[in-house]
C-alpha cells in the first residue's frame, strides 16, 4: 500500500480509525467554525479551542463540478472526473463545505443523511496518496 499523507495538518484527525474534522469552539459565545482558527468570527474572542466535529449530518446544498478547476487544484485535467461538492449541516451548528463521494446529480438531494470519509484525491510526485475529507451518502 502506498504511503498516505493528509492534504494539510490539523484539518482532521489522522491517522485514525474514526477520523473527525477539527474545528474551533469559542469559549465566550459558543460558536463553532471549521477549520481551526483562534479568533472567533462571531465575537471579539481570540481564544477559540480546538474540538472534534460530528462525523455525520445532512446535505444542506450541493452541486457537481463539471469542469477541471484552474490552479491551484492539483488534479489531472486530462483525466478529469466531475466531483460533487456540498455543505453538510452538522449538529455542532455549523455547515461544512466538502467534496462528496457521489457525482451523480440524480443521487443527491437536499436533506439526505451524509457521513464523513477520508478519500484519496491525488497522487503526488513522491508517489504518496494525498488524502482529504469528504462526505458520502448514508445508505438507507
Partner 1 sequence: MNVSILGSGLYPFGRHEGVGPIEMGVAAANDALSDAGLGWNDIQFACAGSLEVLQPDTMIKHMGLTGIPFTTLYNGCATGGNLLLTAANAITAGQADVAIAVGMDKHPRGAFSVGDTLESIGLGQWYGETGLALNPQYFAMKTMRYMHDHGISEDCLNRVSVKAFRNGSLNERAWRRKQISEEEIAGSPMVCDPLRKYHFCSPSEGAVAVVLCRADIAARYTTSPVRLRADVFRTRRYGSFETLTPSTPVRSVPGPSVEASREAFEAAGVGPEDIDVMQLQDTEAGHEIMHMAECGFCADGEQEALVRDGETAIEGLMPVNTDGGLLANGEPIGASGLRQVHEVCLQLRGRAGAHQVPGNPRTGFTHVYGFPGVSCVTILTSS
Residues that bind partner 1 (CB under 8 A): 7-8, 11, 23, 31-35, 41-42, 60-67, 69-75, 83, 85-87, 89, 93-99, 105, 110, 121-122, 130, 132
Q: How far apart are CA 6 and CA 13, in angstroms?
A: 9
* Residue 97 CB, nearest approach to partner 1 (Å): 5
Kindly tell me which of 4 and 61 has the beta carbon lying closer to partner 1.
61
Answer whether 117's CB lies under 8 Å from 136's CB. Answer: yes
Q: How far is CA 77 from CA 58, 69, 124, 131, 132, in A?
A: 30, 8, 15, 18, 19
* Residue 13 CB, nearest approach to partner 1 (Å): 15
* Residue 26 CB, nearest approach to partner 1 (Å): 11
DSSP for 39-87 reads S-SSSS----EEEEPPSEEEEEEEEEE-S---TT--S-GGG---EEEEE
Cα three-residue angle 95-96-98, rounded to 5 degrees: 140
* Residue 139 CB, nearest approach to partner 1 (Å): 22
Residue whose entry in the numeric block shows the C-alpha cell 439526505:
112
Amino acid at each position: 500500500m502506498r504511503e498516505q499523507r493528509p492534504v494539510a495538518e490539523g484539518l482532521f484527525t489522522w491517522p485514525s480509525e474514526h477520523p473527525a474534522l477539527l474545528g474551533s469552539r469559542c469559549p465566550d459565545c459558543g460558536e463553532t467554525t471549521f477549520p481551526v482558527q483562534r479568533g472567533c468570527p462571531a465575537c471579539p474572542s481570540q481564544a477559540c479551542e480546538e474540538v472534534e466535529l460530528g462525523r455525520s449530518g445532512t446535505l444542506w446544498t450541493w452541486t457537481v463540478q463539471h469542469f477541471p478547476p484552474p490552479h491551484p487544484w492539483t488534479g489531472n485535467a486530462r483525466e478529469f472526473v466531475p466531483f460533487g461538492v456540498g455543505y453538510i449541516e452538522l449538529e455542532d451548528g455549523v455547515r461544512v463545505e466538502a467534496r462528496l463521494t457521489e457525482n451523480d446529480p440524480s443521487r443527491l438531494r437536499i436533506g439526505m443523511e451524509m457521513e464523513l470519509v477520508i478519500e484519496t484525491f491525488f497522487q503526488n510526485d513522491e508517489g504518496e496518496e494525498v488524502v482529504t475529507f469528504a462526505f458520502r451518502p448514508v445508505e438507507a
